[in-house]
Structures are given as structure tokens and as C-alpha cells.
Amino acid sequence: DAKTTQPTSMDCAEGRAANLPCNHSTISGNEYVYWYRQIHSQGPQYIIHGLKNNETNEMASLIITEDRKSSTLILPHATLRDTAVYYCIVRASESNYQLIWGAGTKLIIKP
Amino acid sequence: GAGVSQSPSNKVTEKGKDVELRCDPISGHTALYWYRQSLGQGLEFLIYFQGNSAPDKSGLPSDRFSAERTGGSVSTLTIQRTQQEDSAVYLCASSLGRGRYQPQHFGDGTRLSIL
């Protein structure tokens, strides 16, 4: 199963774009990249997912490199409520639909 | 619409007691997952239900852990003879179907503390 690597923590100023990187160099051709976030004392919240094309929804944008070995989650105008742990996850192989969770990136939005 | 609902939100019990944790998935979601999360850690998969198929129990850490899903909706996770290492947040998620492209939607979890 593909593994992801993320920075342990990041800071971002309120109102600026937050760019969270993720490396997944062993990703398979048919595996999707998912992003979730977890605000303190709450369950994880789905943000976005993608395969190879860039994706955008009301919460964020996902940029996946052409070789699919890395991706970046972009929060275009970060607010204090975006402070959370952000998890980049590669969906496990066909025979294993579990999500494999790493330690994530602690994103702190500063006023 | 209503999200995934878990109860109780907090549970404190003595070592050796049995506990039951409940999960109400989103209506219409046929897939249901249980995870647990220890302090400061990522999520650890426990068990997966999909429709009427046999559940995938490969993540259950010991035979003290069991789960059932009645009527394809509500699920109960049972821990027998609890130990202190069982202390964690137990999270339930549901998704539309078993397709790996379907995002999972989580409840806020049950915080279990074993004294």
C-alpha cells in the first residue's frame, strides 16, 4: 500500500492561501489521493480527492503532479477555523479498502 | 441532512468491564467503518461492514473486540473485559457503497477512558 509523507506542522497567516504538501512516491496508477482534516475533539472531515487531474470544490483545491508522486492541498483564503490536522491519504489497494492514516500536518492559522 | 451519530460521546469505565459503543450512519450509506485513535496518533482501522456481506474484521486487535450491524444500519462495537490500553477515541464512518472512490464521513467519536 502506498505511504504518504507530510510535514509535521505549518503556519499560515489568516487570509492568505495555505499550501499543504504531500509526498506519495509509491502511489499506484489506480489509487486516489484523499485529503481529510480533523479539528480538535471532532471526527475527521472529508475535504477533497483526486486521481490525476487537479480538482476544486467549495473547500479547497487539489493539485497533483504529472507523475502523481506528490500533491498539494490549497486553502485559498485561510481562516482561524481552518486550524486543524490535515491528513493526506492514498486509498489502499483493490483488496484493501481501508484508509491508511499517517500523522498528518498540524496547520495553525495565525491572525 | 444528519451526519454520522455516535453515542455515548464520552465513556469512563473500570478495567475489566464490558462497554458498548453505538454508531448511526448516514441514511442510505451501505458501508460502515470503525476506527480508533489514540492521543496524537492517526486512525487505526478496526472493522468494515458493506451491505449484507461478511464484515472485514482484520483490524480488530483481539478477540475481546466485536461488532455487529443490525438491519444494515446501526452498528455496535463491543469491547469485553476492557484494559487500560483500550483507552482511545473510537470513530465510526460511513460511505455510499464500497467503491474506493467514495469518501468516508465520520462521526465525532466516543472517547473511552479505562480506569
Supply the pLDDT for residue B102.
Answer: 80
Whether residues B59 and A99 touch (CB distance < 8 A) is answered with no
* B5 contact A CB<8A: no
Q: Is the pLDDT of residue A97 over 70?
A: no
pLDDT at residue A28 in the model:
83
Integer angstrom CA distances of residue A62 from A21, A30, A51, A94, B57: 10, 17, 10, 23, 33
pLDDT digits (tens, 9 = 90+) for A6-37: 999 999 999 999 999 999 998 888 888 999 99
Q: Do B42 and A101 touch (CB under 8 A)?
A: yes
The pLDDT tens digits for B51-65 are: 888 898 989 999 999
DSSP B55: P
B72 pLDDT higher than 80: no
| Beta carbons within 8 Å of B14's beta carbon, 6+ residues apart | B82, B114, B115
| pLDDT value of position B1 | 54
**Torsion sign over Cα A66, A56, B1, B106:** positive
- Comparing CA positions, the residue from A98, A85, A102 lying closest to residue B45 is A98
**A98 to B44: CB separation less than 8 angstroms, yes or no:** no
Dist CA B100 CA A58 (whole Å) = 22
Residue-level pLDDT at B100:
55
Cell of A15: 487570509
A41: chain B residues, CB-CB within 8 Å? 108
Chain A CB contacts of B45 below 8 Å:
98-99
Concatenate the DSSP letters of all residues of A31-66 into one string: PPEEEEEE-TTS--EEEEEESSS-EE-SS-EEEE-T
Average pLDDT, chain A: 90
* Other beta carbons less than 10 A from residue B11's beta carbon: 18
Q: What is the mean pLDDT of residues B69-82?
A: 93
Tally of CA atoms within 13 A in the half-sphere of A86 that contains its CB:
31
Interface of B with A in 61-90 (CB under 8 A): none
Cβ contact, residue pair A46, B103, below 8 Å:
yes
pLDDT at B99: 60
What is the model's pLDDT at position B85?
95
